Each structure stands twice: as C-alpha cells, then as structure tokens.
Chains A and B, each alone.
Chain A
C-alpha cells in the first residue's frame, strides 16, 4: 500500500520525527522498519540518520519516493529473486553482491549506507575466466577514467588456436572510477559492452558504445590476471578454469534480457525546462506502467512553494513481499507483459 503526504521542504526536522511520522501515517507504531528513498539517479538509498534524511529531502524534485520495509523482512536475498522488486534492477544490484558473497541473514555491515561504485555481476552465468563489471557513474563527480586499445588475443576454436583481434584496456587514469574499483586492470580483454559482443567491432565503435553506455556501463572482460577470479560456490558445473570461450551460448539470451531490463530502468531520464521554470525529469509516456510502478513504491509527495503542486497527504506503504495480495500478483504479471511490449517498441 502507499501513502502520499506533504512535508515542508525548508524545515524537514529530525530523522526520528520523520520516522515517527511514517509510523503514524502508516499506522504501524510499533513495527521496526527500514526506510529508503530513490535518489535522482534512480538508486535506492537508505534513510537512517539526520544527514541522509536531509539529503533525501533536499533532492526531492518535488516528489520523494520513500520505500519502507519491515526490518525482520528486510531479507535482501529475497529481493534478488523476488519478481516484484526484480524490476527495479538497481535495487537487486545494490543487494546482489551480498547474495553471492555472504550467506543471507548474516549482516556484517550495512552496505545500504553506501552508494555502490561498481559491482561484479552475473557470476553465476559467466565462465570463471570472465568477469562482468558494472560501473556506476554518478553525475560528474568522478571520471570513468580508463582507456582502451586494439590488440590481439589467442582464442580456442574448432580449428585450434587462433590469433584474433581484440580490444584491451590500455590504461587506468589515477583517481578514476575504473582504477578505484580494482575490478579492471590494464591488459584485460574487453569481450562485451552492455551485453553486446565487441568482436568484429573497431576500436572506435567500441569507444562509441562505451561512451553511449557511460551512465551505466557494464563491461565483460577476461582479466589479464586470472588469479583473482571469483571462485564459485559450486564447482560442479564442469567448466574448467581454462575455458576460453567468449561466452556461454545457452546463457546469452538470459544475459541480454537482464541487460535490457536493467538498462531501461537505470537509464537516466532527460531533463526538461518548461517556460524557463525548474528543470524536471522527463517522465515516461506510458501511463499504465506509471500507475503500476506506484504499486511497488511508496510515494511521498513533497510540496514545494515555488511550483504549484497541490498538497496531498496520501502515502502508500507496501508491507514488503509477505503481504502481496492475489490482485497484486495478477497486475504484476500484466506489467511484465507490458514491459516486454515496451522492449519491442524500443528495439
């Protein structure tokens, strides 16, 4: 369920007050909840102290979307596989590393307090020799900071070993995002950019593809140094460490589907300024998907005095995965098909 209500932007107050307000609005006075919000980049960030609360309020534009989860249900692994939250890929990606690296329910730290700068994804479907790295570019604060070059690599083919042209990382700029993640290194071979294989493409083409995807860049590399590979939970899958296939054909559609979805969701929206007013994000034109989206989100309408939004006090709270009604599931299925439709249109 969700609620909408208004807040005074200039006087947000303290986090405790806000927390209380939420509990009050949703009539859950004694339930421990985790509070999160989506920032302008579409990332889910936590609200658990005054600082990030104020930050959240200041970024409201004018609507601030707040997500509330029951603390005992805040089982992140459930999010990763949950169809309903899957859609919001950002969310699952924020949380997915935990999924793979740790056993669920053992919270060592609070990763949600930090904003991810990079992640290794799709470990389960890639050969062990490959690594798929996602770089998160937030605004302009940190340059991506890497360079690529032409080169050649040796590939195992049915005709034996063959030398084929390839694209390699040639340099990491000090202080850049790529260097700071430690996930990419000089001489790593670039195999894919956002799910598209680079073989057969020129250096300039790959450069253009990377820049076009720079807001949400996912590159699959074959690291030059194979010693630091992620070791799988189960090594029974038969793929030996020496496998040099560029990708597993059977898993490719899956990968692509994942990517397209992720891309659509995390793609930054263009901005419009109407009649010299405030810059706003350009919304999606499909009204149905908008209303469906709101099912999974708590929306907080934040009234600002500059523009003439009507104050409203409706807040919906989604009581996490456990309380999904039948109706909701039906609509969810509906939504999935719609989404597919959307993908086709954009293809």
Chain B
C-alpha cells in the first residue's frame, strides 16, 4: 500500500507535517557586528545599539530585546530616544532620519519604523547645508533640533517630520552679537553639539566646531550668552542644576563654564588638560556628575597623551583623588552613564558606566570600591577569541548544570555584584522548557559554556586547555599590574582578545556527555583531552599517550606544525573540567572527528591520516587505523606544503574580503538594497568580470577516484551497540567514515564492569564499506528494530530514553555529502537510498537526528534528519524511510562560514554564525521555539490604557475558558495565568502550547 503514499499526496501526513515543522529565525545571540551608534533612555531604561549594516537593537532587562533593520542597510550614525516616550530617532549616514516606536501588538511590544525623513535645503543649496551633525530631541517631545554642517539648526515637528521653517536658528542670527574680533577669527562652521538646559526647556546650548558656544533662548529666538571657546569643540555637557556646563576639546582639554543670569560675558571657570602637558588626543565626550559628598565624577573619553598612549581606547573616570583610565580592547563607539534621573533628586549619583566598544560591551560599577566590571547577561562577545567549533547539548541534568554554574561563579569573583543596571521592559516569554548548553571552542584553546536555554546567551563557565601544554606565551605577561604611581592610570577592561598565542591550541571538536560529566576536547595539533568535572581546585598529573596513526607508512614526511609540548609533573587546575588524559596524534594533524562513549569509557578520534580508539579508564590505546591512500602525498605532508590549499585559502580570503565589504548579513525581512551593498556588488561583479576575461570560470567534470587527495580524512566517528557480526549477538562497535566514501566498522570487546580494569578492551575490524560514489561520509547512524536511532550512551541508564529494540533487525544509515543510504545489519545489503546531489545539485554539509514534537498533541513525536546543504537550505528527511519532508532556505549559499558554523540541537533548533560575533538562532520545530517576547510599558500610556488592559484580561480569561482561541490579548492572559500558576510547570507548558497553537 505504501506506494500510494506519494510525498505531498497524503493529506494526513501533510497535516501532521504542519503540526511538526515550522521554520523561524528567532533571535540573534552575541555581540552585534560592527556597532556604530549607542543610545540610552533613562526613562525606559533601554539601551539601543545601531550597526554599520543598518540594524538597530534594543536591550533592557535580560530577555527584553528588540530588533529592527533599516531598509537602506546604511550605517546608523546616531540614536536618540524621545524623552519620556517609547520612540527613538536614528540618523543614518545617508542623512536620513528614522522614527521608530515600540508598540504593543498581540500582547508583546514590537519595534516598528514609523516615519523616515531626509532634510532638504532650499533649492540650489549645497548638500552640506542640510548634512545633519547633531540631533536634539526636545523634552517637549514635539520637536527635534537638527544641527547641520552649515551651522544652521533646523526644527522639525514630531512625529510628522514637518520642517518648521520659521523656527530655524540660522548661523547668521547666532553670530549677530558675537564680538567682532572673535567672529573674524573663525566662522561658525558645523554644529557639534546641541544640549537642552536641564531646568529650563526654553534654553538650548549650541556648540560649534570651532569653539563658539551659544546659549539660545527659544522663546525670544535670540542668543542670551556667548561662550568664546578658543579650542576646537568636541562635545558639551550640562551640570545637573544648569548653573554650569563643561565643554571638551580636540586638544585633550575640557573647560567649565558658568552660566550667569545677567548679561556678563562668561569666562571659563576652569580649563584643564587632564593628561597634559604633552600634546593629547581629543576628549570626544564628557560627563560631569554631581554626588552627595560634593566631589563630582568627571568621566571623559579620550584625552590620552598623543605620543605614548595615542593608540589606546580609553575612558577616564575621575572622582576626587581616584582616577582610572579604563583601557578598552577595541575602539570606543560611545558610552553613557546611568545616574539618578528623578527630577526630585538633588544629585546625579552615577551608578554605572556603559561602554560600547567596537567588539564588546563593558559595564563598570561606579558604586562599588575599585569600580569593578559588571558581567553582562547578554551581548556576550562570542568572538573574544575566534570561534573554531561549536557543540550543543540539550536538556542538561540539573546536577551537572549546577556544578558548571558553580565552577563558573568561581571564575567570576572579580565581577561586581551589582544587579544589571539596564533593566527596562518586562520579559513575558515563558521560562525555557529545558536547560541547554552551547559549547564553543576557540582559537586560543578555550571552551566556553553558554547557557543557550533562553533568549540571552549567557556565559556560564570558561575552560582553558592551555595549562596542559608548554607554550611560547609568557605566563608572567601581565599588562594590568602597573605600579601605583603609574601615569596615566590605565586599567585594561574587557575580554576581547583576538590574538592567539599559538594556533595549535585551537579547539576543533568537543563532545560532552551530560550524564557522566565527561568531556572530550580535541584540537588543531592532534591533541585529544578527556576531562572530568571536579568541584574543587586540584593539582594532578595528566596521563599522556601518543597515537601513531601512520603505523608503517613508508616515505612519509610531515611538514606541518609540531605537536604541542606537554608540561611535566603535576599541573594546577581550577575547579571545573579538569583533564586527566591527553592523547596526541602523530603526525599532529588537526583532529577532524571525535566520539566519546562514557559508559564504555572509550574515546575515538580521527585526523586526515586515520583514527584511533583510546581506553580512558585503563589509559591505554586500543588500536589505530591508518586510512591514508598510499598515493595521497598531500595529506601525508601536512598543511604547509599544500599547493592546493594555498589556492583555496587565497580564494577564501577573497571571499572574506567580499563578505566584509558587503557586510554580509541578510536579516529577516531585510532584502533592501543599499547603495553600499550595490556598490560592493557592482565592484565585485566588475572584479569577476575582469577575472572572467582573463580565464573563464569553469569546472572540471570528473568522477571521484580512489587516488583523490584527502580520501583518508576521517569525517565521522560513531559508537553503537548493534549487530555487527551475527543477528543473534549484539556487541559494542565503532564506526568511522572517511572523505573517500569508506566506512569502517570495528567490533569492540569491552570487559564487564567488575573486570573493567583487569582485561584489555579489544577491537577487531569487522566490516569495510566502500561507497562507489566516493563522496565524503558525513554521518553514520544505527537504527534499532523500530527504526529509531540508538540512544546516547547512558541515556537509557538514566531513564531518559526507551531502551533500543534489540529484537528486530538493525539498520545502518550512512550519510555522505551526496546520498543517504540505509543498509541492513548484520549482513550488509542496501535497502534504501536518497540521492540528494544527483537530483538537486546540493550537498550535505551538516546532518543530525532531531526529535520533533507535535504542537497539537503532547504524545506524538518523531525522529527525523535535519540536514543543512551547501546551498544553505535546511531539509528535513524522515527516518527510517528517507523521504524529504520539507525544505527551508536558511543561509545564503555564499555565506560559507555561516554554513560551516551551523549546529543543530536535538529538538530541531539550530545556531549559525551571521558574523564572527553573532549566532543566529533558528527553529525548525513548532514546539521548541526560543524567541524574545517582551513588553515595554510607558507609565502615561499605560494609565490611559488601563481600562482597556483590564477588560482585555477578562476577555482573555473568558476566551480561554470557552474556545482557547487567543487574540490580541493573549499576553495578558498568559501573564495572568503565569502568575497564578507559576509553580505548576505542567500547566505552564500546556498554556504555552495552547498559546503557540493559537498563533
């Protein structure tokens, strides 16, 4: 009967597919690529970050985040929140202004672009006349003041962006009463800063770039005071009471000016070059914050001595005798101070400084002694060392979770205890259904453990493998320990450190067993470390073994890097994962595959030369198998001598250039063409055209042969307890798949637990399958008698999985880049296949078994293969019948690094890098969806809407009783019930599923 069930023709299956699969890009984790602007609303307690690709991201309390994208994809130059409103204005580098607002829609707030506007001057005027340099949203919320390059200040009405021409403050009007000699010396030039008087909304301070500062009376439309600065102006800051303001200058000085009520000509109160007397760099922004004890906080960006510290990215905080110049790891984009904004409060009392650097966000606690940094709950710099691999583990047992957190908290003692100061908005997303870990391996030999359960990707713990090895890096290289009398008082802050001491330390493969806490980590120089979680610091010797993967190969010469040197004697390890075994592959080629079986206490590893199996209980190498084809000289010699790979790397670096040029992100709904992108594309087209004229791009059509290079490259390793030799007895087995389409199966004999230390583990090759299409094998899987993939080691022992069906006949699924093939076991005969490449021209890049639950019923779930192809498509393929279920475009096919970085979870979610510092999270499942859902309430607005909200709640409650069909008010009801039933997880889940079902 099956033959009638053609794909796409079975309505029952089609309906089920709708209940199971759904593609969403849900949230971006990490730090925005190329941030370009920062804004903060003390009223909403929300922070906004703009990027060079035109994205705007808002962050508040953990879990509260919004994203928007300017259609133009242009650089965001400035972000200004409208005072006391859920609105903000962005200025792009094409001189366009955009008004965004947070509006509530079906219970959750959404960021929407409302209006856009480009300032137009009178016909014939130069473009500089309307080039906006400064934006001041007036506290009346009705108008924006726009300072321009011409020195004129235009006034536009909000939200319509209508230009109020009669209120334009022209530079001529300003200059009228300026003393002659001053005026002659310098013209006004562009408007550098616009600041509203803190007490009197009718007065604004206008700073011109050449140094002139004017206090302008909006009511009478005239200048009340002129402050004749002699230095090029950078920025202005009002003191809280409005009696003084500070200007900062290009020469690294700042000046305090008094504001008199009479007509006296103001003279500077104080003029200081904090890091003088030698020439200093500009102070580009300054804060002057008052405190109860009378000593102000003077916080300014830059101003470092030009010659010696001109390359530093610093922000200095001066408070009485305390002074620290925070030294950032990358360029400071902007910063703001969080201070008391209550109108009744007498002093500023700054509590925190938030600094957006190019590569990370740093928050400094100004209340605690020593001004420690605050650990951010989001915007983590994923790329503080380049990410080399990632590994996801779903549903972490609570015990392990707590132990990892406790190990991590010991690493974070130097952080401030201050609660996260940016806490606007309310997160209304349901609690994450399970604890998920994302592990990222980095170039510097560290593994970072991220809490990937919810919207905020949060660093739990950082593991370094460096201690095991002797490296060139000087362990006493301490930039921070400077003497007390050191001047300037620099203090390094931030974690971004892209420079790896030794590329051999790079992490390439990670495998964590969540049940036993065993962790295997493998790296660039053939090192494989097996670790155990220890809650205490410990000093011990790491057992060391070598695995010669070449065995008796003749005529071999490895020209690649040397293996890492190990430390002799005991090594001090901090609490957390501590290595106890190190296996080093010989030749020390990069480890390309890794598998750990925590129950059998075995670890398998593969490189481009072969693979090996190590017994980490007895600390004994069980066997090695060389997979090299004798003629494969390239693989033999190692990475340095590869002519081929040089070509490839050249190609890749070009690609990278192109990528960065296009600034490479395609976001949800962001199909907009920008001049930048177009320009880049045009340039690229031109380049390719030229290239084509030289030599046409052509591809050779040739069948793969056994003599191809890198056929021995071990792509995948897999442990299975299955019927390898005969159908009556199952046994542990190890499977390996190579680049040349070969699958090796080894029969293992693991002694029973009581004799585990006494008898050796034995292995014997039982099968070798050569796929005739010779495409690289990227996945091996054994399906049990019910067609279900075998459970993970220890999964059954922990009652988290049904034990596999060992009665029926097992099947072997081999996934190559081109085909999916199912074979019977123990006698290998081919049963099914799906030829992906022959039919579609795409190839498998990543494949995982994922469990998909129905959003309609709790009791149905199925296992399918989630596949990412080289075209960036994601396909779901059913098990065990290998039928294509659904296909979604996910990543641009040009985004090679995005495709390479993709990692799937066990429950149909996934992550991939959209930039070196950001993971895009996506979901294929209707059931498991982690996305931000939050509300930003405005006091005034909410008081207006109070009635409405209340009725909404009742409405929803009624609806939930009757039909379960939630409309506009689902959030309200969700929230209501959440409060009522917060402790009852099951009910919560039910509500969640109904809510999602209704959507």
Contact = CB atoms under 8 A, between A and B. Distances in A.
Interface stretch (B27-35, B426-434, B827-835): B827-835
Interface string A209-220: 111111101000
Contact of A341 (B3, B725, B772, B837): B3
30 contacts: A140-B706, A144-B701, A145-B702, A146-B701, A170-B696, A170-B698, A178-B701, A198-B841, A204-B841, A208-B841, A211-B702, A211-B703, A211-B837, A212-B775, A212-B837, A214-B701, A215-B703, A269-B772, A270-B821, A271-B772, A272-B828, A273-B768, A274-B828, A282-B828, A286-B831, A337-B3, A341-B3, A344-B2, A344-B6, A347-B6
B967 to A, nearest CB: 41
B842 A203 contact: no
B887 interface: no
Contacts of B830: 269-270, 282-285
Given A270-B830, A346-B832, A149 B697 contact: yes
Contacts of A337: 3
**Which of A145, A207, A211, A276 neighbours the largest number of chain B CB atoms within 10 Å of its CB?**
A211
A341 B2 contact: yes
B692 to A, nearest CB: 8
A201 B841 contact: yes
A288 B824 CA distance: 16
Majority secondary structure, A binding face: mixed
A129 to B, nearest CB: 23
Q: Which of B834, B839, B871 has the most CB of A within 10 A?
A: B839
Interface in B679-725: 696-707, 725
Nearest to B842: A205
Nearest to A284: B830
A300 interface: no
B697 A212 contact: no
A126 to B, nearest CB: 21
B888 interface: no
B831 A207 contact: no
B767 A270 contact: no
Contact of B698 (A137, A147, A196, A211): A147
In the A-B complex, the 10 residue pairs with the smallest Cβ-Cβ separation, listed nearest first, are A205-B841, A214-B703, A212-B837, A207-B699, A285-B831, A285-B829, A273-B768, A209-B841, A212-B838, A149-B698
B979 to A, nearest CB: 51
B514 interface: no
Contact of A345 (B2, B839, B843, B893): B2
A144 B773 contact: no
B881 interface: yes
A345 B769 contact: no
A276 B745 CA distance: 11
Nearest to A173: B700
B841 A214 contact: no
Given A140-B703, A282-B823, 4 more contacts: A146-B701, A208-B841, A212-B835, A212-B837
Interface string B761-786: 00001111111110100000000000
A210 B701 contact: yes
Interface string B842-861: 11000000000000000000
A344 B3 contact: yes
Interface residues of A, number: 56
Nearest to A271: B770
B766 to A, nearest CB: 6
A196 B701 contact: no
A141 to B, nearest CB: 11
B768 A272 contact: yes
Given A170-B698, A214-B701, A282-B829, A205 B871 contact: yes
Interface of B: 2-3, 5-7, 696-707, 725, 765-773, 775, 818-819, 821, 823-824, 828-835, 837-843, 870-871, 881-883, 893
Contacts of A346: 832-835, 882
Nearest to B7: A347
Nearest to B831: A285
A143 interface: yes
Contacts of A263: 838
Contact of A196 (B697, B823, B829, B839): B839
B815 to A, nearest CB: 14
B828 A140 contact: no
Contacts of B706: 140
A208 B702 contact: no
A237 B612 CA distance: 65
B28 to A, nearest CB: 28
Contacts of B828: 272, 274, 282
Contacts of B829: 282-285
A145 B703 CA distance: 9
Nearest to A195: B839
Nearest to A290: B829
Contacts of A272: 767-770, 828
B685 to A, nearest CB: 13
B773 A215 contact: yes
Task: With a 10 A CB-CB cut-off, give which of B697, B775, B833, B841 has the most chain A CB atoms.
Answer: B841
A66 to B, nearest CB: 23
Contacts of B834: 346-347
A284 B822 CA distance: 11
A16 to B, nearest CB: 36
A145 B701 CA distance: 7
A212 B769 contact: no
A341 to B, nearest CB: 4
A242 B823 CA distance: 49
A270 B772 contact: yes
B769 A282 contact: yes
Given A212-B818, A270-B771, A337-B3, A150 B697 contact: yes
